[in-house]
A and B are shown apart, each in its own frame.
Chain A
């Protein structure tokens, strides 16, 4: 067996303590400095609702809400967000399990097919509504264009968001 070293020679500590509020729950976590928020959620915390489509900030599947703003979790290192408040798709529904109006509208308008882009679309739409930037279908299209849907559910996604916007 070859000698095993302690890991990449980055000069960084192996793990750093941070605190995150995830879907309302305060979590004290030890995370590697190179771990993205996306990998933290999916691989370490078992919150697999947030999806990995590219890991490069090019598809939006990993969109989550960080302090109320939509971001790509794959482009964000977890250690940079010590103290932040995070909402993932698992945290959108009410405590009693009742669907968020956008979740209900997505089901009603068939705003997805395979469902893989859906958590990202939902978090992105929640963020968009909070931004108050979209006033028309045209603007929804524009501001939702960071979230790819290979199934092509776009017209139904727009219809669902429009319904909730009104």
Chain B
């Protein structure tokens, strides 16, 4: 299991793309936020009959909603990022990581060959994908770094 090889051969389809919800166009900002909070997803794709109009994330909430008057009652289209950058499902993970490092987006919708939304690539999911390659070094660690014993217990 070699991370280098896998990053260059696996496509983003192999990463967990499920960290998002879909909301319909016309929904009020307030209700979009409620839906996101209830499902604990910080990213909502704004859809119009199956096609992607835009993306609305907690980043947008922090920048365009919170300290602005009246935004909560507008439609989600008015604050979403329209026509967001999308990635193709057959993109190699290493290339997606490059895009994530360069662009300011934490969430990028992934589109299949037919142009349909397959999911959303998130920073977290890629971190998880990388960590999956080092279970001993990453998952199998004590709760805090100074919790290691000098000697193992045993007979």
The answer on A and B forming one complex is no
Chain A residues close to B by CB (< 8 Å): none
Chain B residues close to A by CB (< 8 Å): none
